[in-house]
A and B are shown apart, each in its own frame.
Chain A
Amino acid sequence: MSDIEQIPVTMTVNGKKVQRFVEARTLLIHFLREELNLTGPHIGCETSHCGACTVEMNGMSVKSCTLFAVQANAAELTTIEGMANADGTLSALQEGFRQMHGLQCGFCTPGMITRAHRLLQENPNPTEDEIRMGISGNLCRCTGYQNIVKAIQYAAAKLNGTEFQEAAE
């Protein structure tokens, strides 16, 4: 075993308090996936371009491949595993992605939904352009984004209690 210094970290992840020892260089994404078995956030590019590793930290969307776990010490984190409604049903966003066919291979989806969640927290009624800007830190190779935009519009309408109007093609 290596003798690299282990640093204690404590954080709240999806509502649960966790305590672990980590190397200083342990990246947050590896901490979540390997230590906590939260394999929803994914690793796509490792250079902070694709957003597959996006998680929510202290009310911000962050790319967990470019943060050290020690930087998240004492933080509140939410991953895709914590996004469903309290009763276990799909959240408005999760439902919107399914209804609007906003995913295909599913690899970008956790990061995309987690990012969209924060976007709707800050802007509950975004325009199409605002949605496209808002998810521009998340790459998708499958969908061409059009149905992701619709999925987020669907969720916004549902959360606002308004009727979702699918734009005419």
Chain B
Amino acid sequence: MIPGVFTYHRPSSVAEAVAILANHGDEARPLSGGHSLIPMMKLRMAAPEHLVDLGGIAALKGISEDGDTITIGAMTTQHELIGSDLLSAKLPIIRETALMIADPQIRYVGTLGGNVANGDPGNDMPALMQCLDASYVLTGPDGDRQVAARAFYEAAYFTALAPEEILTSIRIPVPAAGHGYAYEKLKRKVGDYATAAAAIVLTMNGGTVGMCSVALTNVADTPLFASEAGDILTGSTLDAATVKRAVAAAEAITQPASDGRGPAEYRTKMAGVMVERALARAAERARS
């Protein structure tokens, strides 16, 4: 398992990186943590002629808060997300999710930008970003544009990102203080992708759901924002009948592959179970 030959670039600015990508088109790939791309290259299933290492661009790192928005640099690692006090206080679901990704070594190098940008339906962060209604800042030769996470994913490994663009940061609106949250992930073992996973953020007013956002991981060729499930739950008291309808709505939008994790039917049902369990935990955590 040896990667093919490529030319290595290590730009120190986003502009420089974008210029290299623009110059080489489809033959160039950005490299962030590399733990998806490098194994593919070792299997010779990916053979970019130019690899643009984003590791030398200091501007792509860091977590900051600006009013109601938290901005996370694309090269911020899972390990850094886990260790961030700001995220623990304002967006604790990010820490909970990051801890379920891969394993400790991979979390030191795996980045949020890489996780959301490469379009692998197995990745956990894309569904979470959809749940949180995050936007991605895409930087290209013509400057920045923002695309909502909910509109970014087209098919497995196909996204709104153009070949000459780099996903430079992720902007997340801060949910209301006291919100409830949970990321439930069913997997075969540490290091595996989800058999099915669900992200939920909600608020509770008294016994009633104020808002509820639901998204699903690895049960289709893209992450799934389960808007109907969220709508059903919003305004409800989370009574059993409503939860059942929401679970059914979430299951209905899944189109999982049959693989070693189980047949499609199972994975659809597990998406439902994950929604139900995430909902229970999120509701318990929510401060009325």
Q: Which chain A residue lies CB-closest to B83?
A: A122
- In angstroms, how far is the closest chain A Cβ from the Cβ of B47? 10
Given the known interface contacts A51-B103, A70-B53, the answer about A7 and B8 at a Cβ–Cβ threshold of 8 Å is yes
Secondary structure class of chain B's binding surface, majority of residues: mixed
Residues of A within 8 A of B95 (CB): none
Partner of A47, one of B5, B10, B39, B55: B39
B178 at the interface (CB under 8 A from A): no
Given the known interface contacts A23-B5, A24-B51, A71-B55, the answer about A48 and B79 at a Cβ–Cβ threshold of 8 Å is no
Q: Which chain A residue lies CB-closest to B1?
A: A46
Q: Are B39 and A66 in contact (CB under 8 A)?
A: yes
Residues of A within 8 A of B4 (CB): 25
Q: Are B108 and A61 in contact (CB under 8 A)?
A: yes
Interface string of B41-84 (1 = CB under 8 A from A): 11000000001010100000000000000000000000100000
Number of residues on chain A facing chain B (CB within 8 A): 30
Partner of B190, one of A4, A63, A68, A137: A137
Residues of A within 8 A of B31 (CB): 71
B109 at the interface (CB under 8 A from A): yes
Q: Are A68 and B8 in contact (CB under 8 A)?
A: yes
Residues of B within 8 A of A71 (CB): 31, 34, 53, 55
Residues of B within 8 A of A38 (CB): none
Q: Which chain B residue lies CB-closest to A45?
A: B1
Q: Which chain A residue lies CB-closest to B192?
A: A49
A47 to B102, CA, bound (A): 12
- In angstroms, how far is the closest chain B Cβ from the Cβ of A16? 23
Q: Are B108 and A60 in contact (CB under 8 A)?
A: yes
Given the known interface contacts A46-B1, A48-B106, A60-B109, the answer about A67 and B190 at a Cβ–Cβ threshold of 8 Å is no
A78 at the interface (CB under 8 A from B): no
Can you add 10 more A-B contacts, CB < 8 Å, to A24-B51, A70-B53, A137-B191? A24-B5, A24-B7, A48-B35, A54-B105, A61-B104, A62-B108, A66-B38, A133-B190, A136-B190, A137-B103
The 6 A-B pairs with the shortest beta carbon distances in the complex, nearest first, are A137-B103, A24-B8, A60-B108, A136-B190, A137-B105, A46-B1
List 9 A-B residue pairs with CB atoms under 8 Å apart, sorted by A's residue number. Answer: A24-B8, A48-B39, A48-B105, A51-B105, A62-B108, A63-B105, A63-B106, A71-B34, A136-B104
Residues of B within 8 A of A (CB): 1-8, 10, 31, 34-35, 38-39, 41-42, 51, 53, 55, 79, 102-106, 108-109, 190-191
